[in-house]
Structure 1
Amino acid sequence: MTNQFFSRLSKNYIEILEDNEYYDITIEVGKDPDVKIFRAHMIILCYRSPYLRQILTSNKKNNELTHIKFPEISPYIFQNILTYIYGGIISLDDQDISVILDVLIVAGKFHLQELVDFLQRYLIENKAEAMEQQFELTYQTSIQSNSLLELQQFCSDFMAKSPEKIFNSLSFTSLPEQSLISLIKRDDLRMDEVKIWEYVLKWGLARNPTLNPDPSNWSVDDTNKMKTTLQNCLPYVRFFGLSSKDFLRQVRPYKKLLKDNLYEDLLEYHLDPEIETPNNILFPRTGDLGSKLISINIVSLVSSWIDNITIKNNKREFYLPYEFRLLLRGSRDGFTPKKFHALCDNIPNTITFIKIKDTDEIIGGYNPLIWKESLNGEYGKTRDSFIFSFKSKDNFNDSAILSRVNDADKAISYHVECGPTFSTDIFIGVEENDCLRDYNFNWCKQQMYKGTIRNTEKLFSIEDYEVFQVIKKNT
């Protein structure tokens, strides 16, 4: 039997920090007039912080007291860091968001990964609203270290949800290139494409302050400077999603920034409505759809399947009579049957999209009935359900497989240990008779539907999945 007495141990180490006799290092922090000297112990700092070990080892002198300085760290923040290093304690009660972010910066600098991870989770779970209100500070903090991945993801999600707040801020043009790219490449960015293009141009001009904003006045050198500045951003602007009017007024004046073949394709596309759309273009953004798995093109296609009509597969016109309201996302809500039934039961007209792990493949199905738990298992009867598969989110025109129900009496399967299951044709469940476990028993075997949607019956793992309720829009 092992007993742990960490509380007393922590208290004793805090007492060591406060002791004035046995220290062997002094640390000066802050700038005038707020400067303070802390007494500490090299062995503790070296074993708790890889960064401090490196600093102290290079500054160590025989038989002399080691003295180091951190003028960029305030005494108050450093006191919090030392309290954590010695006693494993951090106090966040009533702390302003700016203080917590400052502690996070120093924790990252000192490679205190345990504290970094904790503070990121704490901020996201408890201070999200405050971070949104002080987003510029939050964002600038997030890009100071590669260890702040969770905070960076929070910022990226917020920028996609509320891009106007970011683009209209005074600091927008100071965004690093990679940060701008990570924003404009997102499929769920909620902004008109022409606005995105205008902001990309604004960002590029800010990096070339000597350029005249009017491109008609640019020399060859001016054009090349701007082209070089924007070369990594332009591939993520979805020019084919612009209206012909916006193309004429907002893109054509900057045509020399685009590759010749791209500009010619765009010109043909906007001049001739019947011309075939190029296959290698980025699809329109999903916007309010809020999906991480599917594009607006897939929404259009499966909507036509729901209504059992045939539409032209192109990227100009979409069939969008339904609102797709997200009920569940595995990566957000979990991958257990219990969570699926908690969020999706008793809701009619749902559609499921499943991304298969280690592939680009997406499978799914439409259930016009409700989902429900069943201890012993039962079937839902309908002639209107169907299942499908796509090779990938972007490769669906030629790869889409649609399979409508063949045995209407066994179209939908209900079980407490299963997720969205369409007989054995798409079976999503657990093997251990435990609905709190993550899905680990998933396969596709053609039985109750007219055709197979996968070329294998082997078990597969789920990378992510989404369930939407399909709601008819008001006309």
Structure 2
Amino acid sequence: MTTKFFDRLSNDLSQLLEDPTDYNVTIEIGEAPNNQIFKVHSYILQSRSPYFKNKINETPFNDDHIKVLTMPNTNISIKILNVIIKYIYGGLISLEKLENSTIFDLLIASNELELDELVEHLQTYLVNNCGVSWLRLKFDQIYQISYQVKNLEIIRDFYNDIIAKHPNTIFESENFYSLPEDALISILKQDDLRLEEGKIWEFVIKWGKAKSPMLPTNLNEWTSDNFLTLKETLKGCLPHIRYFSISNEDVVEKIFPYHQILEPKLFLDINSKIMAPNKQITSIVLPPRNTLNTKFPIRNIPIDLPSNIITNEHALEISSWIDKKESSYIENYPYEFKLLVRGSRDGFDVETIYNICDKVANTVIILKVEGTGEILGGYNPLEWNSNKNQTKCTKDSFVFSLKTANMKNSILSRVRNFSHAIYNHTPSLRLSFSCVLVLKGNLKTEKECYCTESKTYTRSIRSEEFIRSKVFRPKSPIPFFSVEEYEVFKILPRNDLN
């Protein structure tokens, strides 16, 4: 029997890093004066990392018989490289005190340095409950990266499993049209994708048209060359559509208009199956998706969101804030958003909100700001009252600014001074969440809405240029705004979750 003394070996090599006797390589990272130099040994680096082996072999010795390596302009930070060098020497790594974003940066750096063992371990760590919530919160961003960077199969499979069960997380995402082709093909290959084949075809067509923005908007204006362009764009995706699982109605309504992008023999066989279902065909018939006829729990069915402003992704984010979740919902739709008021339908006066929402609790107000495209809003768990002028107390209200194409991340601001959370000022036609979000008069024509800093809520929901600081700039003008559209929703627990 062979006895292995790995602990002692790891400790001794780690000590060698602390006291780098006879080092013959330096690794320089960062910019002066905040740069750092690691003194290391070529034989250890070469035996542990193919990346460093190549770099060392390519680098000549200087006059001091030292090989000087300079880290390229990558995302590897001094902190990350320090963790990696300690791993290379001692085979030890501690992740418990690192944030999930740092662990992911460590993963990308480990992959770049060809540390396969560490790449696998870090992915497994993130998907095995330790970083699951963070991965779901960063779905759009990390899923894209998993296809742009090689060797992230574990994270890629994690996301593909979510997509198979809840396809709207990707198909209805604002980032769907920027999805890499190999990512879309990987989704289309999944036998357990829970989406009707006709819907899948529609999304693929939309993706292809987005990749070819020069195509006419009106299909009646398309030429043969236009269809050829779309066919070429989708040539990697089309073989993975389950054409013979598409309903006859969808074939007529969705396939026929684009039949020119299909091979003539395939289109003929699709028609044959409609007219003579038992007739033999020569085209490849992919099997129906495993879950096509399976009845799934209703709790995972997306809500039918009656909004002209926000997306289902926004609704999930607001729902998670209502439930005070640390990360956004991605698989569950706990609430129904029942539309009560819409400016373009019911009028833009604040008085209209009070009249329609009188005695209604648990409401969300959504505003699209004129000129900037910002989406602002607030949640009031209490009843609005059309006959009173009062300040209301609650610990559960919040205001927010939602992520848009021009805004990278949403902003959440929770109430902290509970006694002044909501201002119900009917006589002055004012409705507000302290001074953080104030709505007044006619929201479209009078331009009297504004946001300021306030100690009542945790933070401002607009950038500094659009707010007034009562503390630092008390006499500065208030940047008033009007709204392009607004909506008020009653938030109801889903009655189909039992």
Of 263, 267, 290, 2:271 maps to: 267
Distance 1:32 1:265, change over 3 A: farther
Q: Which 5+ residue runs of structure 2 have no aligned equivalent?
A: 295-498
Distance 1:289 1:41, change over 3 A: farther
User: What is aligned with 1:107?
Assistant: 110
Q: Which 5+ residue runs of structure 1 have no aligned equivalent?
A: 291-475
User: What is aligned with 1:237?
Assistant: 241
Distance 1:178 1:33, change over 3 A: farther
Kindly indicate whether residue 90 of structure 2 is the aligned counterpart of residue 68 of structure 1. no
Q: Which amino acid letter does the alignment assign opposite residue 91 of structure 2?
A: G
Q: Any idea what the Cα deviations from partners look like across 1:23-45, whole Å, max 9, x if unmatched?
A: 33232334689744333222221
Distance 1:41 1:259, change over 3 A: same
After TM superposition, list the pairs within 5 Å mapping 1:304-343 onto structure 2: none
Partners of 1:169 and 1:94 in 2: CA distance: 32
Kindly indicate whether residue 89 of structure 2 is the aligned counterpart of residue 86 of structure 1. yes
Q: Indicate if the aligned counterparts of 1:28 and 1:37 stay in contact, CA closer than 8 A.
A: yes
Q: Any idea what the Cα deviations from partners look like across 1:46-85, whole Å, max 9, x if unmatched?
A: 1111111001110122534323223311111111111101
Partners of 1:262 and 1:133 in 2: CA distance: 41
Partners of 1:112 and 1:274 in 2: CA distance: 54
Q: State the superposition RMSD in angstroms.
A: 2.7
Partners of 2:30 and 2:280 in 1: CA distance: 61
Q: Which amino acid letter does the alignment assign opposite residue 86 of structure 1?
A: Y
Distance 1:286 1:214, change over 3 A: farther
SS of the residue 1:252 aligns to = helix
Partners of 2:221 and 2:51 in 1: CA distance: 52
SS of the residue 1:27 aligns to = strand
Q: Indicate if the aligned counterparts of 1:188 and 1:287 stay in contact, CA closer than 8 A.
A: yes
Q: Which amino acid letter does the alignment assign opposite residue 69 of structure 1?
A: M
Q: Which amino acid letter does the alignment assign opposite residue 153 of structure 2?
A: L
User: What is aligned with 2:45?
Assistant: 45
User: What is aligned with 2:260?
Assistant: 256
Distance 1:179 1:248, change over 3 A: same
Of residues 204-213 and 27-36 in structure 1, the stretch that sits farther from structure 2 once superposed is 27-36
Pairwise CA distance, 1:133: 2.7
Partners of 1:235 and 1:42 in 2: CA distance: 49
Distance 1:262 1:170, change over 3 A: same
Distance 1:129 1:283, change over 3 A: same
Partners of 1:7 and 1:212 in 2: CA distance: 67
Kindly indicate whether residue 19 of structure 2 is the aligned counterpart of residue 19 of structure 1. yes
Q: Any idea what the Cα deviations from partners look like across 1:203-243, whole Å, max 9, x if unmatched?
A: 21222121123332222222211111112211211222222
Q: Which amino acid letter does the alignment assign opposite residue 71 of structure 1?
A: N
SS of the residue 1:283 aligns to = coil
User: What is aligned with 1:413?
Assistant: none
SS of the residue 2:89 aligns to = helix
SS of the residue 1:143 aligns to = helix
SS of the residue 1:116 aligns to = helix
Partners of 1:115 and 1:205 in 2: CA distance: 40
Partners of 1:42 and 1:282 in 2: CA distance: 53
User: What is aligned with 2:121?
Assistant: 118
Kindly indicate whether residue 61 of structure 2 is the aligned counterpart of residue 58 of structure 1. no
Q: Which amino acid letter does the alignment assign opposite residue 111 of structure 1?
A: E
Kindly indicate whether residue 146 of structure 2 is the aligned counterpart of residue 160 of structure 1. no
Q: Indicate if the aligned counterparts of 2:55 and 2:69 stay in contact, CA closer than 8 A.
A: no
Partners of 2:120 and 2:253 in 1: CA distance: 47
Q: Which amino acid letter does the alignment assign opposite residue 256 of structure 1?
A: Q
SS of the residue 2:71 aligns to = strand
Of 219, 224, 229, 1:220 maps to: 224
Q: Indicate if the aligned counterparts of 1:226 and 1:257 stay in contact, CA closer than 8 A.
A: yes
Instruction: Give TM-score, length-normalised by structure 1.
Output: 0.55
Q: Which amino acid letter does the alignment assign opposite residue 226 of structure 1?
A: L
Q: Indicate if the aligned counterparts of 1:34 and 1:74 stay in contact, CA closer than 8 A.
A: no
Partners of 1:33 and 1:289 in 2: CA distance: 64
SS of the residue 2:286 aligns to = coil
